[in-house]
Structure 1
Amino acid sequence: MNYQLRKQLILQTVEEKGSVEVKDLAELLQTSEITVRRDLATLSEQGLLYRTHGGAMKMSLVQAPTSFANKSTSRMAEKDYICQLASQLIQEGDVLFLDCGSTVSRLCQFIKHKHIKVITNSLPIVYELMGTEVSVNLIGGELDAERQAIHGTIALEHIARYQANKAFLGIDGISLARGLSAASEKEASIATTLAQHAQQVILLCDASKLEKEAYLQFASFDMLDVLITDASADKDLLVKYEQKGLKIIC
C-alpha cells in the first residue's frame, strides 16, 4: 500500500475514533509499526494530527495549533532522550509540577505507568495522561489557546496551594550572561511560581536552547537545581554551568 493511501486511511481512522494506537493502524494497513510511526511523524509535522507516544489523536481534541504540533515534534529524538533521563529521577508517589513546554510534554510517555500525581497547566499533557496510572491536577485559570496552556493570576494562586517534590520546566533560553529567559511574562510567571513551590527544580533543555536569549530575562541560575540536556551540548559550556551551581545530566 502506497503512502497516499495509507495517509487517507490513517486520517479517516483518527477522525472517526478520535485517537488510535500504532499497533491497530499497523494491523489495519497491513504494514509494519515502523512504517506507521514514520507516517504519523510526517502527518504530525504537517499539522494533520497530534502525535502521541503510542499513536495519534485528532487535532480537534487537543485544539493544538499546527505551530505547537510542529514544535513538539522538532528535535524529537533529543527531547525523548532528555525525558528518558528525567524519568529516572521520578519515584513512585512523587508529586510533580509539569509546565507547558514542548520538551516537558514528551516526558508523559515515560511516566504513564507510575503511581504519581502531576499538576500541570498544559492541556496536551492532560490529554496524554488521561486514563493512565497518573493522577492529574489541571491548574485553573485563563486559557491561552496559542500555547494550549492555562495562565493568569488564578493559575498562580492554584499553584501556590500545592507543594511538589519536583518541578520539570522548559525554557526559551538560558545563558551565562542573562540566566533564564522566556518568550512572555505569563510563561515566566508560571515557571517562577512552580519553582517556588517545589523541593527540586529540573530544567529540560535541548542543546539548541543553551546560550540562547529570549525576549524576557526572568531568573538567575539560582532558581534551578538540575539541567538535563542532550549529548550534543558543548561540554566546556556545561562545565561553566556547573560552576554556576547546576547539576548537569547529559
Structure 2
Amino acid sequence: MHLAPRQRDILEQVRERGYVSIDELVQAFAVTPQTIRRDINQLAEKGLLRRFHGGAASDSSTQNTAYAMRATQMREEKRRIAEAVAEQIPDHASLFINIGTTNEAIARALQNHKGLKIITNNLHVASLLSSKSDFEVLVAGGTVRADGGVVGQPTEDFIRQFRADYAIVGISGIDEDGSLLDFDYQEVRVSQAIIDNARQVWLAADSSKFGRNAVVRLGPLSVVDALFTDAAPSKTISQQLKQHKIALHLV
C-alpha cells in the first residue's frame, strides 16, 4: 500500500503509542492542522487507524490502548460526562463502578456527595473515594491487572452478593448494531454481573467509543437505562436508544 513518508510516520506513532493528538502531530511535522487531518482521514479510509475528534488511534479489535494513553484521551469530554453523571446520583445511594478511565473521572466528580456506598473492581476508583470518611467503599477480590482493574471468578462472585441502586458502566466500543464491546473476557463477565444486580444501569462512554471494534461482546445496548456521552450517536444507534427507551444525556 502506497503511503507518503509523513503518513507512514504518523501511522508508526499511532501504533506505538495507541493514540496521538492532532496538536502533537502538528508540532512533530511542522505542518498545519488541516494537513494532519487530511493525512488522518486518508489513513482512516484505508482502515489503518481510527480518527477521533482531536486525534487518531490504532484500530485493533483484540488489544486495548495502553492505560496511560487512555487516561489522557478525551480528557475534557470525560470530565463533562463525569459531572453529568454525578449530578444525577443522589446522596446516600449505593452504586457499582466498573473499570475504565471515564469511571475514574466520575469517581472524582462524586467526592462532594454524602453517604455513598460504592462496590467496585477498579482500584483507582477505590483509592479516589476511600478518603471520604462518610463513604463505604467495597473492593472486589481477584486478579489485579496493570491498569488497576480487578477481574476473575472471585470478582464476579463478590459482585453477585449485592443489589445496588445504580451501576456506572464503562465500555471500550459500541457497534452500529448496538452491541457493547470490550477486550477482556473476564472483565466482561464482571460487568455482566454488575448489570444483572443494579436497579439502574448507566453507560458512560465518550464519542470515540461509537463504532470502535473490540472482540468480546458484553451484551446489547438495551441492557442500559441511560447513556451519557459528549456527542450525538449515529442515526442507527439513536434509533435503538428510542426503541428501548434509553435516556440520552449529551454533555
Q: 1:178 to 1:248 in 2, by over 3 A?
A: closer
Q: 1:177 to 1:239 in 2, by over 3 A?
A: closer
Match of 1:202 in 2: 202
Q: C-alpha distance in 1, partners of 2:198/2:158?
A: 14
Residue 103 of structure 1: SS of its match in structure 2?
helix
> Is 1:148 the counterpart of 2:182 in the alignment?
no
TM-superposed CA distance for 1:178, in Å, is 5.2
Q: 1:200 to 1:161 in 2, by over 3 A?
A: same
**1:226 and 1:249 in contact (8 A); partners too:** yes
Match of 1:76 in 2: 75
Residue 188 of structure 1: SS of its match in structure 2?
helix
TM-superposed CA distance for 1:134, in Å, is 2.4
Residue 208 of structure 2: SS of its match in structure 1?
helix
Structure possessing the higher relative contact order (Cα contacts under 8 Å, 6 or more residues apart): 2
Percent identity (aligned): 23
Match of 1:177 in 2: 177
Q: C-alpha distance in 2, partners of 1:212/1:233?
A: 15
TM-superposed CA distance for 1:105, in Å, is 0.7
Match of 1:91 in 2: 90
**Residue-by-residue CA offset, 1:85-140 (whole Å, 9 max, x unaligned):** 10111111100100011111101221112121111011111111121142211111
The root-mean-square deviation of aligned C-alpha atoms, in Å, is: 1.9
TM-score by length of 1: 0.69
Q: 1:70 to 1:149 in 2, by over 3 A?
A: same
TM-superposed CA distance for 1:240, in Å, is 1.8
TM-superposed CA distance for 1:237, in Å, is 5.0
Match of 2:225 in 1: 225
**1:238 and 1:248 in contact (8 A); partners too:** no
TM-score by length of 2: 0.69
Structure 1 counterpart of 2:249, which letter?
I
> Is 1:134 the counterpart of 2:123 in the alignment?
no
Match of 1:63 in 2: none
Q: C-alpha distance in 2, partners of 1:98/1:195?
A: 10
**Residue-by-residue CA offset, 1:210-232 (whole Å, 9 max, x unaligned):** 122311123112211111000x3
Gaps of 5+ in 1: 1-65
Q: 1:222 to 1:242 in 2, by over 3 A?
A: closer
Residue 66 of structure 2: SS of its match in structure 1?
helix
Moved more, 171-180 or 182-191: 171-180
**1:96 and 1:165 in contact (8 A); partners too:** yes
Match of 1:242 in 2: 241
Count of matched residue pairs: 184
Residue 70 of structure 2: SS of its match in structure 1?
helix
**Residue-by-residue CA offset, 1:158-211 (whole Å, 9 max, x unaligned):** 001111000001101112325111111011111100000000000000011012
> Is 1:191 the counterpart of 2:191 in the alignment?
yes
Q: 1:118 to 1:217 in 2, by over 3 A?
A: same
Structure 2 counterpart of 1:143, which letter?
V
Residue 241 of structure 1: SS of its match in structure 2?
helix
